[in-house]
Amino acid sequence: MVWSNYGICSTTRRSYPGLDLRKVNSATEQLSQRRYLVTSIRLGIGYIRCLPHIIFLFFHPNKAIIEYDILRWRQMRGLRYRKITSFIYLMVHYPEYRNLFYYRIGYLQALINFLCPKEPTLYLSAESIGPGLFIYHGFGSRLGARAIGKDCTFFQQVTLGWTKTGHPVIGDNVTISAGAKVLGGIEVGDDSIIGANTVVVKDVPKGCTVVGGPSYIVRRAGKRVREKL
């Protein structure tokens, strides 16, 4: 059974009189080859453009954390390239990753960030960010936590913000969905999920899913509940 990009297989030929599936599949293959060529050219240019970044990757004191970030982004984005090629691909295609990389190398970013500009509306101002932070569509986000744990995932327009009680602390493997706001000197426990557009101003226990505003718990340790924070 041969499928084309149009969802047509050889067994449905009678439903499309006059359609030559061989030509459709040939055109699809040519398109794939062109895309591969374009990607290869972009990566080739990226190697030249990101040569200073590669040097920082190998010799910066945060090398181990940066390599872990690359591994996590490779997994989340389904990349099959080797480490260096994956790094170049991420720098070329994902401004959110650039922000994270520049955060890792600190003030030295001023020397090279003009080569691969950051996402201008993503602000990483947390005091510490654990390895493996992954950011989907990071525009309009300000991550001003006291600490962010390992393997966290954030979506767009997320705010981790200050109040008079301080900045929040985010545990490991926490997911914060689009538009959510986590405010004040609170703690979000490991393995927790903050739903889209949720406003959180109280501590979130470990392993809980929180939604709403005012927020409440809808799942704890894998079981459905409805509890106030």
Work out the average pLDDT over 206-215: 94
Work out the average pLDDT over 209-213: 93
Work out the average pLDDT over 174-192: 97
Q: What is the pLDDT at residue 9?
A: 46
Cα distances (angstroms) measured from residue 99 to each of 68, 109, 200: 15, 10, 25
pLDDT of 1 over the 70 cut: no
| Cβ count near 158 (within 10 Å) | 24
What pLDDT digit, counting tens, does each position of 46-55 carry?
A: 788 889 999 9
Q: What is the pLDDT at residue 152?
A: 98
Q: Which helix (H) or strand (E) holds 26?
A: helix 21-49
Minimum mean pLDDT among 17-26, 85-94, 148-157, 217-226: which range?
17-26
- Residue 60 DSSP class: S
Q: Give 152: exposed, middle or buried? Use CB within 10 Å, 0-12, 13-18, 19+.
A: buried
More confident residue, 93 or 172: 172
> Mean pLDDT for the chain?
88
d(CA 72, CA 129): 14
Residues of the chain with CATH 2.160.10.10: 122-228
Please provide the CATH number assigned to the domain covering 122-228.
Answer: 2.160.10.10
